[in-house]
Structure 1
Amino acid sequence: MFVAVLLSLFVAYLLVETVLPSFRDAVAERERLEAVIEEQESLNATLVDLSKTEIKRRDHLCGFRAKVIAKPAPGNVCKDAQRALDAVEEEQDRVKQKIARAKAEKEKLKSAQKSGVGWVVDRWANSWRWLCGIALLVIFLPPVLRTVGYFLLMPVVTRAHKPIHLAAGSERDNASLRARPAERTLPISLPPGEVLSARSEHVRPVRGNVRSRLLYDWTSPFVSFAAGLYGLSRITGDEDGTEATLSTPDDPNAYLMRIDFRDHPGLVMRPRHVVGVIGAPELSTRWRWGIQAFATWQVRYIMFAGTGSLIVQGSGDVVPTSPGDRSTRMEQHLVMGFDSRLTVGVNRTEVFWPYLWGRTPLVDDEFIGPHPIFWQKSSVDGPSNPIAKAFDAFFSSIGKLLGF
């Protein structure tokens, strides 16, 4: 991946350099500017060395004693040293002229670098190293974090967490629960006096009277609203026989299932899967904190208890499965709900490579007990727009945390 990114950048660089000559000139000017700055620094160093070296040589050859001795002697050492110093000063003048020309060229090149293309080239030259570092971090950090979470974090969570039992202390001997086969179109017959509250967009032909219902449960208005159980169609069975048909309006892969329960301690169901409610089961919540809540990012569970029926919707299919005495694992996004009499824990996914590639989640829900869990075959794809995806992910996380 890194090689592909680098090659793509290089090809783009070549295209830009070919299509935009100004970009190529800006690159050349920057390279020339660096060379001019280096040359100027070298000339300055040479100038200082020339001056210091020759002055030291003159002072050494022509001190006070040397001047006295040189006067009667043939030739004049001091004059020779001075002439040599004068020659050095002439060389210094030439060097100063070169420095002046280099300085003028440097100022010109700096002005050119302030142009749009030059500014881009300058920014790239100053930032490509840390940009490469960030690119490497983006590429390699996720798999590193996934590996650490799989081999170090989750084994600790699996051993340390305590499975939850939501119906502990409230189980009833005469409780019953029955799930009917899932269907794309679900017909419902209501005996006299029985009430169906369903999402209006799911209600198709109705033989009987239909009234509106603003909220399913006024004692839990927030849960009812967030679950989509508002603006409902309320259908009441009468002596002439009342029938209604439910179907999903915008998802051809959706299936509907009817779940009947009587004197039940609680059926945990994510409200977004609830399409309709028959009767008047009690809507309640259970809060659970601890390591398991940290692993699953869920602290609240919403339950329908008592006697009644739920109409639930899943993608691809809706399947009830009883784990029995042996634990059953299921990916969290496929779990629609479960019987509160089950023991619920978490475990690490058994497949490492699909998890590393992002195909499966790290944490699986684990169920033990003779009662059913309800799961869908596939999850519905979210929005394709990146901004919409970000908002959807944020609000989905909040909803998951609160049990929706």
Structure 2
Amino acid sequence: MTQIILRLAGWLAGKLGTALLIVAVVLAVGALYLFVTDHLEKEDQRTQRMEEMRGRLAEAEAAAERLREEMARIGAEVERTRARMEQAGELVRQFERLRYFWMRLVLRGEERERMEREYRRAMEEQEREAARSSRLQGDLVAADGQHQEVVGEIARLEQQIALLEADPSWVVVYTQRAWQWLKWPLVAGLLLFFLGPSLWKLLAYYVLAPQVRRFGPVRLVEGEQPWVGVGSSRVSEAVPLAPGETAWVKEKFLQASDEELRRRTRFVLDWRIPFTCAATGLIELVEMAHPGRGPARTITFSTQEEPTTELAVITVPEGGSVVLRPRYLAGVVKAAGSSLEIRRHWRIFRLQSWLTLQLRYFEFIGPCRLVVAGSRGIRGERLGPAGEGTIGAGRRTNQDSTIGFTPDLDYRSVRAETFWSYFRGMNPLFDDLFQGRGTFVCQEISVQARAAAARRFWSTLWNGIGKVFGL
């Protein structure tokens, strides 16, 4: 009862914590959205007001310019009027100095009347010009007053615009500063993002990959070994367990087994390589041992998680061995009176190893049986001279399909057959080429979804690390 209450409390606490986290995240996102939206709206309003003020400022400056032109025109007209008025006044003064003398002593009646008429016209002209000058002076004063008002409006608008320009949204300010600071690295990053993978693939295919062929193959064991047997692949594999034999099985591949088998948990397949076992799923295995008497017992291997997976048994005889990628291993059967031996081979000082990022190989020493899992079937091919039931002295296969090979084969990586298949992600950069006398094991097809995912950034990184260590 206590256990049930504790589990219920833990479940409720987990649900409550998740609910609180969801609420906090939603509120934070909502608050951030409202905050940014509010600042953007204020910035939009500020921009609109600045545009309005700039429009009014332009109109005021145009009006001030028109008033200055009008004042200049009126001033010029005032000067011309003053000149005409002074000219008329000078003429009046001349008439006044001469009229009494000439009119009394020299001029006769008609000439005297003509001079009087001219005198009166000069007086009238002086008065008209004086009145015109007075009116123009009034217009000039009025225009100057309007100009002063417009100049004051211009100063006020410039002050308001300056205040608006000095108070931008800091979201916009920091965005603009970030753009000015990061625009060229950002452009370079975008170019690398869009063009970098294509350029890298061109470089890898046409420059780096051909270098691998210049160096010799990897051969882990000198001399010939006994042939290993590769059984037919099927969806489920019934593996007999003879007296004295022990099997270690991945839990997900264990479908059924005889009740008489002794069972226990083996936490790590080989304690000498614990990290490798953890990375390839060879931990928390089910150990099954024959009780030691009676007929052979049976273990049925299968999986419900991956319907395209098939299994096959590789039989490694005494004196033989097979190099295997541990991630394909579903189970191991150890022969009676022997222990499981896994040798590690490092090939660090080879250019091929660094270009293909495969620095380590795992060799499973016989006698033992290895249950391997592959996609849509598993096939073993024997290579060797004609007349030994082999298919030839050399064989190329997709690197994603290779499961393992016998160490007496010459193994090298060769460039993919076509650039387009590599560029489109249908084939890795390198194919595996096996030559000599021996056996290699491959799955019928490489899992495209898994292979494609492995070429994405993080999956590629993890896949590369696993390949470095031969996993």
Label 1:142 to 1:103 Cα distance change in 2 as closer, same or farther (>3 A): farther
- For the Cα contact (< 8 Å) 2:400–2:451, is it kept in 1? no
- Give the Cα separation in 1 of the matches to 2:227 and 2:255: 30
1:263 paired with 2:331, answer: no
- For the Cα contact (< 8 Å) 2:412–2:432, is it kept in 1? yes
1:286 paired with 2:356, answer: no
SS at match of 1:304: strand
- For the Cα contact (< 8 Å) 1:26–1:118, is it kept in 2? no
The one of 162, 167, 184 aligned to 2:235: 184
Pairwise mapping of residues 302-313 of structure 1 onto structure 2 (< 5 A)? Answer: 302-313=362-373
Pairwise mapping of residues 2-401 of structure 1 onto structure 2 (< 5 A)? Answer: 102=158, 105-111=161-167, 113-116=168-171, 120=175, 131-159=186-214, 161-168=215-222, 171-172=224-225, 175-207=226-258, 208-214=260-266, 215-237=268-290, 238-279=293-334, 280-289=339-348, 290-324=350-384, 325-376=392-443, 377-379=445-447, 381=449, 392-401=459-468
- Give the Cα separation in 1 of the matches to 2:270 and 2:188: 54
SS at match of 1:162: coil
Label 1:134 to 1:28 Cα distance change in 2 as closer, same or farther (>3 A): farther
- Give the Cα separation in 1 of the matches to 2:244 and 2:152: 107
CA offsets 1:372-404 (integer angstroms, 9 cap, x no match): 221221237459999xx7654433322211111
- Give the Cα separation in 2 of the matches to 1:396 and 1:164: 21
- Give the Cα separation in 2 of the matches to 1:143 and 1:247: 41
SS at match of 1:322: strand
TM-score by length of 2: 0.59
- The alpha carbon displacement at 1:139 in A equals 1.0
- For the Cα contact (< 8 Å) 1:331–1:365, is it kept in 2? yes
- For the Cα contact (< 8 Å) 1:203–1:246, is it kept in 2? yes
Label 1:105 to 1:220 Cα distance change in 2 as closer, same or farther (>3 A): closer
- Give the Cα separation in 2 of the matches to 1:150 and 1:245: 44
- Give the Cα separation in 2 of the matches to 1:30 and 1:369: 82
- For the Cα contact (< 8 Å) 1:331–1:361, is it kept in 2? yes
CA offsets 1:337-386 (integer angstroms, 9 cap, x no match): 11111101111111112322333221222211232221221237459999
The residue number in structure 2 matching 1:83 is: none
Which runs of 5 or more structure 1 residues have no equivalent in the other structure?
1-16, 40-93
- The alpha carbon displacement at 1:150 in A equals 1.5
CA offsets 1:98-133 (integer angstroms, 9 cap, x no match): 68964652342231x225456546755776666444
- Give the Cα separation in 2 of the matches to 1:333 and 1:341: 21
Richer in strand (by share): 1
- Give the Cα separation in 2 of the matches to 1:335 and 1:32: 72
Q: Which moved more, 1:115-124 or 1:310-319?
A: 115-124
- Give the Cα separation in 1 of the matches to 2:216 and 2:50: 64
Label 1:179 to 1:29 Cα distance change in 2 as closer, same or farther (>3 A): farther
- The alpha carbon displacement at 1:319 in A equals 1.7
Question: What amino acid sits opposite 1:162 in the alignment?
Answer: G
- Give the Cα separation in 2 of the matches to 1:381 and 1:125: 41
TM-score by length of 1: 0.68
CA offsets 1:214-246 (integer angstroms, 9 cap, x no match): 233345444444443333223233414411111
- For the Cα contact (< 8 Å) 2:228–2:320, is it kept in 1? no
Question: What amino acid sits opposite 1:310 in the alignment?
Answer: L
Which runs of 5 or more structure 2 residues have no equivalent in the other structure?
1-36, 59-149, 385-391
Larger Rg: 2
Question: What amino acid sits opposite 1:110 in the alignment?
Answer: A
- Give the Cα separation in 2 of the matches to 1:143 and 1:361: 14
Question: What amino acid sits opposite 1:105 in the alignment?
Answer: I
SS at match of 2:220: coil
SS at match of 1:143: helix
